[in-house]
Structure 1
């Protein structure tokens, strides 16, 4: 067994998969393949749906046993695995407490301290006091005083409000529960973090927060995701599961796609050259195998062909079938108008006297954090949500609405193909089967009853129905959630050619960037419109953020001495004053931390003093003082870091 030393950042290998083979029943998932995972790896594990990516993660996690090869891991390696199976977890505990279970050892020590405290109320045994002192030191070493703060920070980064933290876990929907479990996994900080579709349950702000977090993560990260933007920003390597082998690429997902095209071309040429060679050799064998003078040579060539390592033919790749949206009627110039619209749910105000207009040709992406009312606005536009104000539909508008709640409109006793036929689109069975192939329903899958389908499969059927609806106005709520990358590409292509208009909600930035020509945001109850693509909107947001920052002080001109020297702008003086204030606070905090450290050490010594632990009241007082000093030290350290960052930022602004 290799790699038996303990993990550290300088070690060159965490996990080694060497010539592994794994069969799932009669089907081979991976054969004679190797993969070495090292610290700092950011790996995107990719492949067509059904090739076995999630299965490979379970092999690494030790859930499945390989039939051939070896898997070697360093001693005491910790692996965190985020996947859909985690949803089986149930508890009435608060989400804050669920997240804090990541700190298993610190919580264990805290519990032991509580038990020891109870014992010390009835006994002044010296051994007991020494044990208590040791446990206090261990709790401090484990940063036990900060675990609540750390957990709250990660949960809030993933979209929870401060008020949510004390709510029971079981009160949240599946998507929000997955966020809690992702937070717990992040807080555990395993040596290898494996994430299976982590962005499926996150809104854009939460995805951006996760990207920042993972960028600074010390361990290795393996990601399975259909989110191309996320992969491009996160990974520095790509491993593709293709033709039962693992193929390794350097760079992000875009680099992988370019390199893969070149490799496939080379493989296809090698295959064709080898096939030419084989045909020539087989002709020779066929011609001379019965001729005495050439029989031995023909037999030798036949043996050589038997031993020849065959080059695999490049498969046709993902389906190239095109989705096509047909438009039955041409609508008027204005498809929908909202005037003075207000919408609230109790104390939650979504829209307040908001107005907007959707014109023919608009392809609008409605973006923002979860809870801002994006799906509610879609329902308002659709006319299915009661409002205050006016909603006026345009002339000749034929609308089709895709959303999770639309799954209820599916006929549960219909087969998939039958459900699409019932729409009256006029498409042939072959056309409908081709379309269903785009949505991952192959062969006899089209004869499955709707009622036995998973939620994701039902969503794909509902989306297929939208495509054949011949509507000229589409409302799409997270249409890519259950699609693979190939299907997303086909949907993008179809929407690009679509002659109608649409409003979509999606957290898939790649999808939004390729489909939308306008961006909508709900800000303070109003609908804010940006006329442009997602990339242009992002650039505009950056410019606005930069303009909002205080201007840098102007530098004195040397080239024009005849002019009086310009006075520093008022903001420069204010910056300097603020810098001096923060520097004084920084110095005071340094002194405070030094004093608190001394207090903690002194109190820790006092707890082991016989004069203290033999007196019950003195011990309780010293114990309480020690806890308070530890908490104060943790808070001071946190404040110290914040002030240090402010000082650095202000120094940079003052220096220009």
Structure 2
């Protein structure tokens, strides 16, 4: 056993964080430490690290145990040394020996005594045992795995931004090879390739690993058990995060049943006491039952669990079929060519995830699509497109003197205060938090306010740059549910693979300056990548066979005129059907626009106090409103069906 927390209690002032909780950490454990924001996850890591002392219980560690703790506080470290040098600080003992060997080498040039030769030999032996000759290579390997290029290794640490500095410090911590590695939100500072590299590295890590993360993909792939901080206790679950969700629900159901059974028992006993406490023959028995009830260990009622409030988007107008066209776009920053003569098109209904390593131009491409980034080439906006852009730079548009709730009210969405407060609750602003001034908020809190404003914007085209960075798992899931029902289109950048897998129906990746499109979900994209990698690694004969099949398939149409003629006839039929469906689609689109205008007029009438003064008029307006809503629902259903048909027919044309 590496660490044993035995019946610990920890308090902040009068607030109890943990009470009589235990946890044993064994070699090889891969633990996902989870819980709602503010329940004490980071506090627990600091208790294990020895920064906080418990008020009750004990924290026991094995002899000579080493602990590595990755967290935001590491950013206080400053130096002008190269990042390679910073990473190599992990090999403290080996670096000392290297200096000692240099000193002894110089002394031996003038004095070759037996004692000096023994010291030199011992130092060389220990340096080799510590793998000192490979420490530079190992450090470079880890830094490059986390996204740095070879030229970056000699650049000063002070030149890098906070996110890149965190990568250097994570590399240093990994290279130290502690017995227990504690990672507090490690994926926040990594792009997808770096997260995948970290996963591969941690799979073979010899020590125990404790991870706090809201990245469900990362937890599912990394952990073999879950520890949840819940109701001031530590609850243990074996398996991945997905296993935890199933087991948690079962435990909640069992606890609720136990609570209800106990409440029935208590009510029965209390009725007996009330009925017989004044009766001489039963008074002693009633008193005995009362004492037993006082000593009864009460089962806690299951709380409501995570918030079930739904985030709802509303769209003001329906756009045309094409939202944005990029023709022969090029963009460079000095010698760094981000995009080179590339083209792409965003259609209505597209939910596109821009993925890839940092520095490839994902955020730049978002700004080009939005129209705020100068470039070479042509950007053609679509008809009736209303865009809302969420990114870090949008924080500048917040009024620092406004309260959070007023910032949303003043945005003019038309939502009630209750609706706005519910929305802010989804983004972790509860109770009186909504009255905080924007100027006193942290960067993460400002980002959540800005995201809430994006949601109430009534845009039909969303652009989201890392929207999940400052959200907990529950808020991320609510955002996923909302985007799943969102009737508009979107382009997003995110390193949260679970979020991407649940929201995107197309994947864009910037490769060698070009936008490469994959039509499908992120899960399908990953499977396709694996197939391509397997083909690349296949033996030469297998590859040749694959190429021959491709050639045969390509050659067949040229040698078969009948097949070509048949396909031509099919294409004409498909085109005729496509034109027919497109015509119907346009008609339904016009009907929807007209119905929505009528609905807006009726809503304005229902909001007029004069309407309520006339009972007959109110009943008539309300009836018309309900009727219009039914028509809109039917038209929306027909709209979706026609849209799917058109997409299928277009796909058939491409296939044929």
Aligned-residue offset at 1:293: 1.5
Residue matched to 2:205: 217
For 1:618-648, what per-residue CA distance to the aligned partner results, in whole angstroms no more than 9, with x for missing partners?
xxxxxxxxxxxxxxxxxxxxxxxxxxxxxxx
Relative to structure 1, the CA distance from residue 119 to residue 405 in structure 2 (aligned partners, 3 Å threshold; closer, same or farther) is same
Paired residue for 1:438, among 414, 420, 426? 426
5+ residue gaps, structure 1, are: 1-12, 555-566, 572-656
How far apart, in 2, do the equivalents of 1:502 and 1:365 lie?
8
Determine helix, strand or coil for the equivalent of 2:86. helix
Taking the TM superposition and a 5 Å limit, the aligned residue runs for 1:376-525 are 376-525=364-513
Relative to structure 1, the CA distance from residue 228 to residue 144 in structure 2 (aligned partners, 3 Å threshold; closer, same or farther) is same
Determine helix, strand or coil for the equivalent of 2:173. helix
How far apart, in 2, do the equivalents of 1:290 and 1:177 lie?
75
Paired residue for 1:264, among 252, 256, 260? 252
Relative to structure 1, the CA distance from residue 331 to residue 568 in structure 2 (aligned partners, 3 Å threshold; closer, same or farther) is closer
Residue matched to 2:43: 55
How far apart, in 1, do the equivalents of 2:280 and 2:22 lie?
47
How far apart, in 2, do the equivalents of 1:74 and 1:167 lie?
39
Relative to structure 1, the CA distance from residue 122 to residue 347 in structure 2 (aligned partners, 3 Å threshold; closer, same or farther) is same
Residue matched to 1:561: none
Q: Does 1:251 align with 2:249?
A: no
Q: Give the structure with the larger helix fraction.
A: 2
Q: Does 1:316 align with 2:308?
A: no
Determine helix, strand or coil for the equivalent of 1:102. helix
Paired residue for 1:273, among 250, 257, 261? 261
283-292 or 229-238, larger mean C-alpha shift: 283-292
279-288 or 308-317, larger mean C-alpha shift: 279-288
Aligned-residue offset at 1:380: 0.5
Q: Does 1:240 align with 2:223?
A: no
Relative to structure 1, the CA distance from residue 397 to residue 553 in structure 2 (aligned partners, 3 Å threshold; closer, same or farther) is closer
Determine helix, strand or coil for the equivalent of 1:427. coil
For 1:571-613, what per-residue CA distance to the aligned partner results, in whole angstroms no more than 9, with x for missing partners?
9xxxxxxxxxxxxxxxxxxxxxxxxxxxxxxxxxxxxxxxxxx
How far apart, in 1, do the equivalents of 2:75 and 2:441 lie?
19
For 1:302-341, what per-residue CA distance to the aligned partner results, in whole angstroms no more than 9, with x for missing partners?
1111111111111001111110111001111110010011
Residue matched to 1:607: none
Residue matched to 1:139: 127
How far apart, in 2, do the equivalents of 1:220 and 1:92 lie?
32
Taking the TM superposition and a 5 Å limit, the aligned residue runs for 1:564-643 are none
Aligned-residue offset at 1:288: 1.7
How far apart, in 1, do the equivalents of 2:216 and 2:202 lie?
16
Paired residue for 2:322, among 331, 334, 337? 334
How far apart, in 2, do the equivalents of 1:552 and 1:128 lie?
58
For 1:516-557, what per-residue CA distance to the aligned partner results, in whole angstroms no more than 9, with x for missing partners?
010001111111111111111111112222222344658xxx
Residue matched to 2:94: 106
Aligned-residue offset at 1:133: 2.1
Determine helix, strand or coil for the equivalent of 2:31. strand
Relative to structure 1, the CA distance from residue 21 to residue 569 in structure 2 (aligned partners, 3 Å threshold; closer, same or farther) is closer
For 1:400-456, what per-residue CA distance to the aligned partner results, in whole angstroms no more than 9, with x for missing partners?
100111111111111111111111001111111110000000111111111111111
How far apart, in 1, do the equivalents of 2:81 and 2:62 lie?
35
Paired residue for 1:173, among 157, 161, 171? 161
Relative to structure 1, the CA distance from residue 295 to residue 132 in structure 2 (aligned partners, 3 Å threshold; closer, same or farther) is same
Residue matched to 2:625: none
Aligned-residue offset at 1:124: 3.8
Taking the TM superposition and a 5 Å limit, the aligned residue runs for 1:1-40 are 13-40=1-28
How far apart, in 1, do the equivalents of 2:234 and 2:209 lie?
17
Paired residue for 1:156, among 120, 144, 150? 144
Aligned-residue offset at 1:113: 2.0
Residue matched to 2:62: 74
Q: Does 1:355 align with 2:366?
A: no
How far apart, in 2, do the equivalents of 1:527 and 1:212 lie?
27
Aligned-residue offset at 1:122: 4.6
334-343 or 274-283, larger mean C-alpha shift: 274-283
Relative to structure 1, the CA distance from residue 531 to residue 568 in structure 2 (aligned partners, 3 Å threshold; closer, same or farther) is closer
Determine helix, strand or coil for the equivalent of 1:425. coil
Aligned length: 547
How far apart, in 1, do the equivalents of 2:545 and 2:438 lie?
72
Cα-Cα RMSD: 1.6
Residue matched to 1:535: 523
Q: Does 1:202 align with 2:194?
A: no
How far apart, in 1, do the equivalents of 2:471 and 2:430 lie?
14
How far apart, in 2, do the equivalents of 1:198 and 1:489 lie?
20
Determine helix, strand or coil for the equivalent of 1:384. coil
Aligned-residue offset at 1:118: 3.7
Residue matched to 1:596: none
How far apart, in 2, do the equivalents of 1:282 and 1:53 lie?
40
5+ residue gaps, structure 2, are: 549-656
How far apart, in 2, do the equivalents of 1:550 and 1:74 lie?
47
How far apart, in 2, do the equivalents of 1:152 and 1:223 lie?
24
Paired residue for 2:32, among 11, 25, 44? 44
Relative to structure 1, the CA distance from residue 376 to residue 268 in structure 2 (aligned partners, 3 Å threshold; closer, same or farther) is same
Residue matched to 2:631: none
Aligned-residue offset at 1:570: 14
Relative to structure 1, the CA distance from residue 303 to residue 415 in structure 2 (aligned partners, 3 Å threshold; closer, same or farther) is same
Determine helix, strand or coil for the equivalent of 2:90. coil
Aligned-residue offset at 1:188: 0.5
Residue matched to 2:629: none
Determine helix, strand or coil for the equivalent of 2:450. helix
How far apart, in 1, do the equivalents of 2:123 and 2:537 lie?
48
Determine helix, strand or coil for the equivalent of 2:377. strand
Give the alignment's TM-score, normalised by structure 2: 0.82
Determine helix, strand or coil for the equivalent of 2:251. helix
Relative to structure 1, the CA distance from residue 492 to residue 570 in structure 2 (aligned partners, 3 Å threshold; closer, same or farther) is closer
How far apart, in 1, do the equivalents of 2:529 and 2:378 lie?
31
Q: Does 1:290 align with 2:278?
A: yes
Determine helix, strand or coil for the equivalent of 2:320. coil
Determine helix, strand or coil for the equivalent of 2:21. strand
Residue matched to 1:227: 215
Determine helix, strand or coil for the equivalent of 2:287. helix
For 1:216-253, what per-residue CA distance to the aligned partner results, in whole angstroms no more than 9, with x for missing partners?
01111111100000000000101111111111111100
Aligned-residue offset at 1:485: 0.4
